[in-house]
Amino acid sequence: MATKLTQFREFGRKIVAVGRNYRAHAAELGNPVPQKPILFLKPTSSYITEGENIKIPVGCSSLHHEVELGIVIGKPGSAIPEQDAKSYIGGYILALDMTARDFQDEAKKKGQPWSLAKGFDTSCPVSGFIDKDKISNPESVRLWLKVNDATKQDGTTSDMIFSIPYLISYISRYFKLEEGDVILTGTPEGVGPVASGDVIEAGLGDVVKMKFKIEQRN
C-alpha cells in the first residue's frame, strides 16, 4: 500500500479541502469562525510538483498563497467513527491551496461556487509523499511559507479548529474516502498575494520543504 500511496497524484480520485480551519485566518479575511467544517473540492488535475510552475489563471488579479498539511487516505471508508479515523491515514503531504482571491470574492458575493477560484490548473502544488512515521504528532507541526525569502505564514496545526480525526469522520459521512484521496486541512494566518516572477518556498516543520515559481498563464 505504501508504494502505491506515493503515487497519490496519479491514482487519487479527489482532493477534499477544508476552508477557514484556523481562527486567525478566518479573522484576517473578515469571515466568521465556522461552526462546522466548510468543504470544497479541487480536481486532481490541479496537482503540480516541484519543477512545474504555478500559473496565474487568465483574468486573475489577486492570486493568494495558502500553505496546508495534507492527509493522504490509506484505505477506503464511509461514515468513519472519529475514534477510528487515524487508522485511515496513509501518510501526509505538504500542499499549497492557491486561491484566485478576486474570483472567490466575486463568487461569494453572488452565492456562486468557488470552483474557478480554487480548482484551476496548478492550484494544488504538493510535496512528495511523507510516511506516517515521519510526523509523530500531525496536530502539532509547524507550517511555514516564504515569498521571495520573506516569511509570510508561520503557524502550527495545533491551532486548527477541527481536528484531523474529526475532519476524516465528518467528511466520510458525505464523501466515501478512497485510497489516495487527499484532505487539505486548512491554512494558518498570513495569506497574501503573489505575482509573476515570485518564488514561494514552504515547509512542514523540518520534515519537508518545497519551492515553486509563479508565472502568468498566456
Average pLDDT over residues 19-28: 89
Given a cut of 70, whether residue 126 has pLDDT beyond it is yes
Instruction: Identify the CATH number of the domain defined by range 2-216.
Output: 3.90.850.10
DSSP sequence for 45-56 = GGEE-TTS-EEE
Kindly report, residue by residue over 48-64, the tens digit of the pLDDT.
999 999 999 999 999 99
Given a cut of 90, whether residue 218 has pLDDT beyond it is no
Residue 58: other Cβ atoms inside 10 A: 10
Average pLDDT over residues 4-12: 91
In the prediction, which pLDDT does 2 show? 54
CA nearest 198: which of 211, 210, 208?
211
Kindly report, residue by residue over 66-124, the tens digit of the pLDDT.
999 999 999 999 999 999 999 999 999 999 999 999 999 999 999 999 999 999 999 99
pTM, two decimals, is 0.96
In the prediction, which pLDDT does 4 show? 78
In the prediction, which pLDDT does 3 show? 63
CB 184, CB 157: distance < 8 Å = no
| 130 vs 114: CA distance, rounded Å | 29
Task: Report the half-sphere exposure of 24 (CA within 13 A, side-chain side).
Answer: 13
Where do runs of H (alpha helix) occur along 47-112? 101-110
